[in-house]
């Protein structure tokens, strides 16, 4: 396993059981609040990734740069993962960029219809 990823996993050993359980309870409350606030919308639209692709040679040689860039590249998709959302990325026609549509859990069918409409509009 890549050492940067391994170290991130190992950092989990510093969390106590009660803190872990409290974190999951808080996340459950955040999920419910998010779904309430976004229920009236067809989707939440955001960039799939907030940055352009980084320099690969620097990623391999600069640990601090790797950590900074890696967290940025995961930021927007991580929101959906943690909240248990369905998501779809539509290409924009600009290299290395996409528009992400996020919807409620099990909302894939609706997102596919919206994604087709967005893709047609961007063509």
Q: Which residues contact 33 (CB under 8 A, 6 or more apart)?
A: none
- Torsion, Cα 10 15 21 26, to 10 degrees, reads -90
pLDDT tens for each residue of 39-84: 999 999 999 998 888 989 998 899 899 989 988 999 999 999 999 9
In percent, the amount of the chain with pLDDT more than 90 equals 63
Confidence of residue 1 (pLDDT cuts 50, 70, 90): confident
Please state, rounded to an integer, the average pLDDT across all residues of the chain.
92
Kindly list the domain boundaries of the chain, sorted by start residue. 41-123
- What pLDDT sits at residue 33? 98
Which is nearest to 84 in space by CA: 38, 49, 47?
38
CA distances from 41 to 98, 119, 122 (A): 20, 19, 20
């Amino acid at each position: 396993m890549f050492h940067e990823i391994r170290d991130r996993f190992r950092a989990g050993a510093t969390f106590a059981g009660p803190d872990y359980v409290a974190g999951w309870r808080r996340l459950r409350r955040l999920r419910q609040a998010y779904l309430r606030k976004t229920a009236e919308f067809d989707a939440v639209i955001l960039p799939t990734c907030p940055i352009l692709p980084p320099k690969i040679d620097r990623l391999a040689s600069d640990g601090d740069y790797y950590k900074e860039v890696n967290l940025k590249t995961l930021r927007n998709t991580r929101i959906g993962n943690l909240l248990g959302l369905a998501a779809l990325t539509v290409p924009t026609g600009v290299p290395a960029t996409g528009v992400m549509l996020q919807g409620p859990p099990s909302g894939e069918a609706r997102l596919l219809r919206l994604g087709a409409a967005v893709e047609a509009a961007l063509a």
